[in-house]
Amino acid sequence: MDARAEQQDLIQNPLPQLVIVEPLTRVWELDAEISKLQKQIKERLEERTAALDYAVRAQIIEDDHCRIDVKIKRFRTLDPVRFREAFPEEFMTICDVQRRELEEQMQHLGEKVQITLADKILGKHGKDRLESVPGVVTVKESISYGVLLK
């Protein structure tokens, strides 16, 4: 069926509208189920961690049904003192690059101010002081809905 025929069919035979009886009660019930499932997931994750830790400590790499898959991640760190001793010219080049980056950041200093830092600097009532001056802070709201039993 092409798109026009499908559209015409939907006009003549619309899909049934979803009707949920007592939708707020259903939301409350689903919230309870979700909470229970999240608790069960947390418990299963704790069991999983305990079982895996046990297998690793006991050096169990295989059982009747499964085997352990070891993945090793490597992280490199650089000792700046030793790097400077071993590669003095490259060290100075890195310092020059870092200096240029800092100078560029300094050109944009103050263009963005973290609101949490402003609150902290303004002291005990910093949030109230910021919001009392028109245009200093833009407040956006988001609305969410929850369902409570009556």
Mean pLDDT score across all residues of the chain: 91
**How many helices and strands, by DSSP H and E, does the chain display?**
6, 0
CA distances from 113 to 73, 89, 91, 117, 132 (A): 37, 37, 32, 7, 17
CA distances from 101 to 78, 90, 104, 106, 112 (A): 20, 17, 5, 9, 17
- Encode pLDDT of 22-60 as tens digits: 999 999 999 999 999 999 999 999 999 999 999 999 999
Instruction: Report the percent of the chain where pLDDT is more than 90.
Output: 59
User: How open is the CA angle 31-36-42, to the nearest 5 degrees?
Assistant: 125
Confidence (pLDDT) at 119:
85
